[in-house]
Structure 1
Amino acid sequence: MSVPDGDVPIPPVVRELAGSEKIEPVWSNELGGLTFRLGRERYIKWTPAETSIDLKEEARRLKWVIRYSPVPKVLESGSDRSGSWMITEALPWESAVADRWFADPARAVRAAATGLRAFHDAVPVEQCPFDWSVRTRVGDRDLPVDPPSIDRLVVCHGDACMPNTLIADDGSWAAHVDMGTMGVADRWADLAPAIWSIEYNFGRNYREAFLDAYGVELDRERLDYYLWLWEST
């Protein structure tokens, strides 16, 4: 995921849904997915049909989890031949990779850690209708190694990287975004990509700070396994 560089083609459905509002590209990903800000109050996420990603699934997850943890409110979702789209309310906070938090990485890392722990503690596993287990992620493929035993079963964010963490002005965690693969799994399925993202954005010196703020000791076996799984799926 990155900030779009240069001119970004705006899908016709995005222009139609924006109406007279200003359209500002804010994110793009390697699959061709795009996120735009519409005016001051809304965001629209769009993904092309060839990715086989249906944003209605993310909309379902957001509508369910919002009762337990702060996430964007879904206003509309749909699809056409070009792809699928979802409109959410804008939240009044910045991503953990915004310039102000790059200048204060210690606070950004702490916010990411405490926010992820709050999410894991607040969202009930027993009520969650979504699964993100190893078997669900790999399907019928043979695994080169057996997964480690479950450390703690939680409802995982599914992409707990720094860009998907929103931080309030006082440096505290505020909300999460991008919940397309949210589901029940071992917490290390979230911790591993979160640690990778922190090291990618802020350097390896912040790994221990993240683990301390989350409240867990480094588990090398689970970290390595779930990094491999994240990169493979």
Structure 2
Amino acid sequence: MSIPSLDLPVPARVRELAGGAGLEPVWVNGIGGLTFRTDDGRYIKWGPHDAEANMRDEAERMRWARRWITVPEVIEQGQDAEHEWLVTVALDARSAVDPRWHDDPERAVRAVGEGLRMLHESLPVDECPWEWSVAGRISGAAARGVIVPEKLRTPPPVDRLVVCHGDACMPNTLLDDAGRPVAHVDLAAIGVADRWADIAVAAMSTKWNAGPGWTDTLVEAYGVEPDRERLAYYRRLWNRT
């Protein structure tokens, strides 16, 4: 995932959804999905159908999560034979990987850890209708033709069940101008799981977005001691599912 150039071609469906508003490309993902910000305060997310996480599920989970945490309000969600899209209200916040934080990676990394703990403390396990268990993830991978190695089929004992984000990479935490975590995005995989499933992914993403050496900083900001076994296991599982 990366920030695209400003001269990125705009898909016809995105122009239609914009309804005449100005468009600024802000994100492109690994399968060609694009996100644009409009000059009237919306985000338009568009891309090919994704076998792992679709925007219909994302919209449903965002509407559920908004009862307890700050996430963008869903305006519209739809799909056709080849693509899907999601339109949300823009929040007064920036991604933790925004260029604003390029020279202050520690602030951004700590904010992601703090924001993840806030999410885990706020979303109620008993009211969550979805799960993100190891067994479920392995089953989902198999349905997509991905075979998970036998050594990953037995996870460490659960430390603490929480409602996990499901894609807790740094870009998916939004910060205010002071660098405080205020919101979360990309919630298509929300579900109940061991909290280390999220912590491991968030810590792993610090290397991609802030450089090496930030794992312990993120874990410390979350508020626990590093659990090397669980960090290593859930990193490997992420890479194989």
Compute the TM-score of the two structures, normalised by the length of structure 2: 0.91
Whether the aligned pair in 2 keeps the contact of 1:62 and 1:74 (CA below 8 Å) is yes
| Structure 2, gaps ≥5 residues long | none
Partner-residue secondary structure (3-state), 2:15: helix
Q: What does the per-residue CA deviation read over 1:124-153, in whole Å, with 9 as the maximum and x for residues that have no partner?
A: 011001111111111155642211111111
Letter in structure 2 aligned against 1:55: M
User: For 1:68-107, what aligned pairs fall within 5 Å after superposition?
Assistant: 68-107=68-107
* Selected match of 1:148 from 141, 156, 160: 156
User: For residues 174 and 142 of structure 1, do their structure 2 counterparts lie closer, same or farther at Cα, with a shift above 3 Å needed?
Assistant: closer
Aligned to 1:110: 110
1:66 pairs with 2:66: yes
CA RMSD of aligned residues (A): 1.6
Partner-residue secondary structure (3-state), 2:202: helix
Whether the aligned pair in 1 keeps the contact of 2:74 and 2:87 (CA below 8 Å) is yes
* Selected match of 1:230 from 213, 234, 238: 238
| Structure 1, gaps ≥5 residues long | none
Letter in structure 1 aligned against 2:225: E
Q: What does the per-residue CA deviation read over 1:16-66, in whole Å, with 9 as the maximum and x for residues that have no partner?
A: 1111101221111111211111223100111213x3453111000000001
Partner-residue secondary structure (3-state), 1:126: helix
Return the offset for 1:206: 2.4
1:32 pairs with 2:38: no
Aligned to 2:119: 119
Whether the aligned pair in 1 keeps the contact of 2:148 and 2:240 (CA below 8 Å) is no
In 2, Cα distance between the equivalents of 1:162 and 1:54? 20
Whether the aligned pair in 2 keeps the contact of 1:47 and 1:55 (CA below 8 Å) is no
Whether the aligned pair in 2 keeps the contact of 1:70 and 1:176 (CA below 8 Å) is yes
In 2, Cα distance between the equivalents of 1:112 and 1:156? 14
1:203 pairs with 2:198: no
The alignment covers a number of residue pairs equal to 232
In 1, Cα distance between the equivalents of 2:230 and 2:46? 33
In 2, Cα distance between the equivalents of 1:72 and 1:214? 23
Aligned to 2:179: 171
Whether the aligned pair in 1 keeps the contact of 2:5 and 2:25 (CA below 8 Å) is no
Partner-residue secondary structure (3-state), 1:21: coil
Partner-residue secondary structure (3-state), 1:205: coil
1:4 pairs with 2:12: no
In 1, Cα distance between the equivalents of 2:233 and 2:31? 24
